Amino acid sequence: MTEWRSIKTIAAALEGGNRSAVEIISDCIAAAERTNPSLRSFITVAADHALAQAAKADTRRKAGRVLGPLDGIPYAAKDMFETRGIRTTGGSRVLENNVPERSAAAICMLEAAGAALIGKTNLHEFAFGATGENRWAGTVVNPHDETRLAGGSSSGSAAAVAAGIVPFALGTDTGGSVRIPAALCGIAGYKPSYGLISLDGVIPYCWSLDHAGVLATSVEDLELVVRQIAKLPSATPPGAAPRVALVNGCENKCDASVHDAFLATKTHIGRRGATFGTIALPDQSEARAVSLTIQLAETLAYHGPNLASARDRFGADMRGGIVMGQFLSAESYVQCKRVLSTYRRSFAQAMQTFEFLLMPTCPITAPEVGTIDVDIAGQTIPLGSALTMFTSFFNLVGAPVIVLPVASPSGGLPVSVQIIGAPGSDAQLFGVALRLESVCREARF
Amino acid sequence: MVKLRLETLQAINVDFFDNLWAEEDLQKLVTPRFGVVPSFESLLSDLRRIGARDLGQVAPDALAQATDTGHD
């Protein structure tokens, strides 16, 4: 990672007059186009749009009318965010010629802050999947090792940030879709409390569980962006001796490198004064069934009407999901929504005596392209189930989560932890994450 | 354990969904595993257990209530 890829360093170059926004954004566009044949991180590179935005930013700067810390900063957005005049496909052939007449609320807010959208990033079709595989748009590969997956569904957003093409990107997260690719690509990611970042103008996947989110190279950059697109109060400085929740034995469901990195991080945090307690989460297979049932029913409701006219343009995963939603009962959907209410209540209560919950983000590092099953702790698990093992529950309870890369014992592929707060505690969680980020980076083996 | 049969799904497809779904779509539901879903059959088994839970008067969309309760 080179230093110029953070928002802070790009902003410093702009402020110092060392480089113009047009120069910086031209470099980003060139990097996107150069890397796309292999990484497949972008579906659309919006060069003309981005350069026009950059020219406006340069004009403002010369006139002394800088809009704020994101003025002239390049970024990318998952192709689920509608963008006025720029093709928005949802990663699907169904919408391959869709050019919206309006932009999503988050895009409008970033435009008002002067940020320049350089393109729309690739994803698992309509965000339905955790691997980032996409037969129509191409499968996004991991910038750390191009034989491996970037993770999904916000695969292109994570790869674009990790490859240094843009300093930040927007994503969406329904069962881990910001956090999984952030973890596998070794960057920071944020899923807010449910509803904190507007989903207005974002193609729906599952209204009950969808969250808009941000991916960046650091927590500091995440917070800078989130302050432009959500009402986030000032962060409360964390206590000197935070009380940290753990889920008993979750590290034992991870492969060796994640297991070792998680325990080393926990030990390092403990040495800095944290104390630990445990909480219990609901039975994993039940929570997964609740999540899937709500997702499948809602995605059927949204995409079902397009089936008659576009049946053959949906990919295999989407068609499989939609047909499955058709054969679920209304009673099952309602009962799962009721269970979801109980999860939210019990999780909020469990977190009352803790500042945050610490867990691995994914139980594995980036899998090879084409992986179907993975072996973890003596069990063979479908890849999608493994990737979402520690993430999907926090969509059910609407909790804020920040994922942080941590030092890997082997020094190989990225490993990540997630810190989870009680719903509504986003500002406090940023305070904790800012402090933990430096602790995690210092952890060595 | 729920036992899914292709013939049952085909009949439902004709009687209730106006033959909306293609044979290959229905076939996926009786396949042990596909895409992000481990098995439709195991999902239905899980849903039977979930459906049998007595949740009292908990409402299906109690986000605000749950959040408020947590911050009391």
Residue A165, classified by CB atoms within 10 Å of its CB into exposed (0-12), middle (13-18) or buried (19+), is buried
Q: Is the minimum CB–CB distance between B25 and chain A shorter than 8 Å?
A: yes
B67–A398: do the CB atoms touch at under 8 Å? yes
Q: Which residues pair with A172 in a beta bridge?
A: A212
Q: How far is B14 from chain A (nearest CA, A)?
A: 13
Average pLDDT along chain A: 94
Domain count, chain A: 1
| Residue B62 within any structural domain of the chain | no
Reading the block at residue A209, the tokens are: 């569980």
Q: Is the minimum CB–CB distance between B61 and chain A shorter than 8 Å?
A: yes
pTM: 0.95
Enumerate the residues of chain B whose CB falls inside 8 A of the CB of residue A208. Answer: 61
Using CA atoms, how far apart are residues B55 and B49, in angstroms rounded to an integer? 12
Using CA atoms, how far apart are residues A181 and A184, in angstroms rounded to an integer? 5
| Residue B70 within any structural domain of the chain | no
| Residue B15 within any structural domain of the chain | no
Q: What is the β-pairing status of strands A243-247 and A211-216?
A: unpaired
Using CA atoms, how far apart are residues A86 and A45, in angstroms rounded to an integer? 9
Amino acid at B48: R
- Per residue, the 3-state secondary structure of A390-422, as one string, reads CCCHHHHCCCCEEEEEECCCCCCCCEEEEEECC
Q: What is the pLDDT of residues A196-234, one digit of tens each?
A: 999 999 999 999 999 999 999 999 999 999 999 999 887
Task: State the pLDDT at residue A84.
Answer: 98
Using CA atoms, how far apart are residues A118 and A166, in angstroms rounded to an integer? 8
| Residue B37 within any structural domain of the chain | yes
| DSSP calls for A106-137 | HHHHHHHTT-EEEEEE--SGGG--SS---TTT
CB of B8 closer than 8 Å to CB of B2: no
Q: A408 an active-site residue?
A: no
CB of A72 closer than 8 Å to CB of A57: yes
Using CA atoms, how far apart are residues A203 and A207, in angstroms rounded to an integer? 10
Task: State the pLDDT at residue A445.
Answer: 45
Name the closest residue on chain B to residue A422, using Cα atoms. B70
- Structural domain span for residue A393: 1-445
pLDDT confidence band for B70 (50 / 70 / 90): very low
**For the domain that residue A48 is a member of, what is the CATH number?**
3.90.1300.10
| Residue B46 within any structural domain of the chain | yes
Using CA atoms, how far apart are residues A65 and A68, in angstroms rounded to an integer? 9
CB of A211 closer than 8 Å to CB of A191: yes
| Residue B39 within any structural domain of the chain | yes
Using CA atoms, how far apart are residues A369 and A328, in angstroms rounded to an integer? 32
Residue A97 has pLDDT above 80, yes or no: yes
- Structural domain span for residue B32: 22-54
Using CA atoms, how far apart are residues B5 and B40, in angstroms rounded to an integer? 12
| Residue B49 within any structural domain of the chain | yes
Task: State the pLDDT at residue A335.
Answer: 97
Q: How far is B71 from chain A (nearest CA, A)?
A: 7
End-to-end CA distance of chain A: 21
Q: What is the β-pairing status of strands A401-406 and A74-78?
A: unpaired
Enumerate the residues of chain A whose CB falls inside 8 A of the CB of residue B43. Answer: 289, 292-293, 324
| Residue B61 within any structural domain of the chain | no
Task: State the pLDDT at residue A309.
Answer: 86
Q: Is the minimum CB–CB distance between B32 and chain A shorter than 8 Å?
A: no
Domain count, chain B: 1
φ, ψ (nearest 5 deg) of residue A209: -125, -10
Q: What is the pLDDT of residues A225-265, one digit of tens each?
A: 999 999 988 767 777 789 999 999 999 999 999 999 999 99
